[in-house]
Chain A
Amino acid sequence: MKKLILPLSLLLLLAGCSSSGNWGWYVIDPRTSGGWTNIKFLISGMGSTILISVIAASISIVLGLIVALPGQSGNRWLRLINRIYVEFIRSIPLLPMLFWVFYGLPIVFKSLGINVPIDPFWGAIITLAISDSAFTAEIYRSGIQSIARGQSEAAQTIGLNYVQTMRYVILPQAIRRILPPLANQFIYIVKMSAFASVIGMQELTRRANELVVTEYRPLEIYTLLIVEYLVLVLIISAGVRWLERRMGADERV
């Protein structure tokens, strides 16, 4: 599927360039100075998109582990907390959650006497991280469960407590099953970061929206926007495949 999208969109671009009808590729034609300025404007959102995604993913990786560990414990209340968190967070659509965090959370903070303004940057990161953590928690869960029960039993019989068992015995073995899906999950964050545009974050999608308003060339500009995401995601998935190969190679030693 991915293999098809790139040639197809290139075809679309070329077709547009050659015909003169309703197409207006000049808005993003690098050969004209206006087009080049527009392209630079659009691409300049890339930094924010990447930064938001990387920070949100980093938080989600830690948060997901914190959520996942109680789910593996022998205590049923801890397991219940884990299930409620995962099911609850997973069922909230991203956009409402973003609105709630950006517009609602500051009010909660204020009523608690905490004066923390939430700007679009952190609003987007908090929302993406929390939303994604439910998924990373599940990735940890399946990775941990893939390690045979005998391993944690053996760890217990040599006196290791729960945290030590996880840290020294289970997670080091689970990591090769966890890392590739975690990296894959990063693609989800990159795509979902587009929602940050609606709270005014100057990232790829926001830039495209703003240019569409001034140039009124939605087809050409959104086509370039999609290509931008496509390139980003293709680079990440190439990284994931490299990681998977490395992890798989380790396993065979």
Chain B
Amino acid sequence: MANAAIELVGVNKWYGDFHVLKDIDLSVGAGEKVVICGPSGSGKSTVVRCINKLEEHQRGTIHLFGRELTNESRSVASIQGEIGMVFQQFNLFPHLSVLDNLTLGPMKARGLSRADAQERARHYLTRVRIPDQANKMPKQLSGGQQQRVAIARSLCMEPKAMLFDEPTSALDPEMISEVLDVMVELAQEGMTMIVVTHEMGFARKVADQMVFMDEGEIVEHGPPDAFFGNPRTARCQKFLSQILQH
């Protein structure tokens, strides 16, 4: 518990009267990979967004690397940039070239020189297998390439953990694997990851823990073998049978 990278205890969140997250407990050790799945509207994105402070939680505690995440802006500023985030819609900056997308954070938030930031950017572009697109604008890239740029942009901040919110749901089917391959590689290199996805092949390959959410609760939680082989709850069984048919 003391050395968990990300630790949520009794986290609750409301949007007005609507109880989005109900007593969420989740402990992610350093280097662990957690895959979260569940039906639409079950609160998966909200969990992830609370961890990097894009949303505030109202009750319970979130610890990142031993530090409590409070709702004060100072702790927010120090945390963002340490936790990488990849969005479903990529959210690249359309007015900046690929290279400038990657160097912006390191230069402005970390104070790197342009030369150092560019060197780092090229390193991570190579890692996501698009070394030769640095000077293009995001629009000129395919969806799969854009998402890999977004992953590289996060990695340029050298985060201690990465969050992925349905990174492949907005992609054409033929591009999904190029993004998943990069993520598998990242997982194998020991990155701490929380991934919201319905790609169960990916989950089986990398997950240490599977989490199934429904209506704001963690309904089922365990290692992938047990999770896929022998889901305890009817809700989870039903969900799995639905998505595994595809």
Partners in one complex: yes
Q: What is the interface of chain A, defined by CB distance below 8 A to chain B? A: 148, 150-151, 153-161, 164, 168-169, 172-173
Chain B residue with the shortest CB-CB distance to A167: B108
B87 in contact with A150 (CB, 8 Å): yes
Q: Contact: B80 with A156, CB < 8 Å?
A: yes
Residue of A nearest to B105 (CB): A158
Contact of A156 with B54 in the complex, beta carbons under 8 Å: yes
B239 within 8 A of A: no
B109 / chain A contacts, CB cutoff of 8 Å: 158-161, 164
> Who on chain B is nearest to A153 by CB?
B54
Asked whether B89 is an interface residue with its Cβ less than 8 Å from the other chain, the reply is: yes
22 A-B residue pairs with Cβ-Cβ distance under 8 Å, sorted by A, are A148-B91, A150-B89, A150-B91, A151-B93, A153-B87, A154-B85, A154-B87, A154-B91, A157-B52, A157-B84, A157-B85, A158-B80, A158-B104, A158-B109, A159-B77, A159-B80, A159-B109, A164-B108, A164-B109, A169-B104, A173-B93, A173-B95
Name A169's contact: one of B84, B87, B93, B150 (CB within 8 Å). Answer: B93
Which one, B81, B92, B94, contacts A159 given CB within 8 A?
B81
With a cutoff of 8 Å between Cβ atoms, the chain A residues found around residue B92 in the complex are 154
Number of interface residues of B (CB under 8 A): 27
Tell whether, in the assembled complex, residue A161 and residue B95 are in contact, meaning their CB atoms are under 8 Å apart. no
Q: Does B59 contact A (CB under 8 A)?
A: no
Question: Which residue of chain B lies nearest to A154 when distances are taken between CB atoms in the complex?
Answer: B91
Q: Tell which of B84, B104, B150 touches A160, judged by Cβ atoms closer than 8 Å.
A: B104
Given A156-B80, A157-B83, residue A168 in contact with residue B91 (CB < 8 A): no
Question: Given the complex of chains A and B, what is the CA–CA distance between A122 and B84 in angstroms?
Answer: 51
Residues of B within 8 A of A (CB): 52-54, 77, 80-85, 87, 89, 91-95, 104-105, 108-110, 150, 153-154, 156-157
Give the Cβ gap from B107 to chain A, nearest Cβ, in Å.
9
- 10 further interface pairs, Cβ-Cβ under 8 Å (given A153-B85, A157-B154): A154-B85, A154-B91, A154-B92, A154-B93, A154-B150, A157-B83, A158-B105, A161-B77, A161-B109, A173-B93
B89 proximity list for chain A (CB < 8 A): 150
Chain B neighbourhood of A151, CB < 8 A: 91, 93
Judge whether B154 and A158 touch: CB under 8 Å.
Answer: yes
CA distance A148 to B92 in the complex (A): 11
Find the residue from A148, A157, A169 having the highest chain B CB count within 10 A.
A157
Max count, chain A CB within 10 A of own CB: residue among B80, B108, B156: B108
Task: Please judge, given known A-B contacts A153-B87, A164-B108, A164-B109, whether A158 and B94 are in contact too, CB under 8 Å.
Answer: no
Q: By the criterion CB–CB under 8 Å, are A157 and B95 in contact? A: no
Bound form: Cα–Cα A160–B109 in Å: 6
Docked-complex contact B108 and A168, CB < 8 angstroms: yes
C-alpha gap A151/B110 in the complex (Å):
19
**Roughly how many angstroms separate A158 CA and B154 CA in the complex, as a whole number?**
7
User: How far is the CB of B64 from the nearest CB of chain A, in Å?
Assistant: 13
**Which A residues are in CB contact (< 8 Å) with B91?**
148, 150-151, 153-154
Closest A residue to B139 by CB, please name it: A253
Question: What residues of chain A lie closer than 8 Å to B77, measured between beta carbons?
Answer: 159, 161
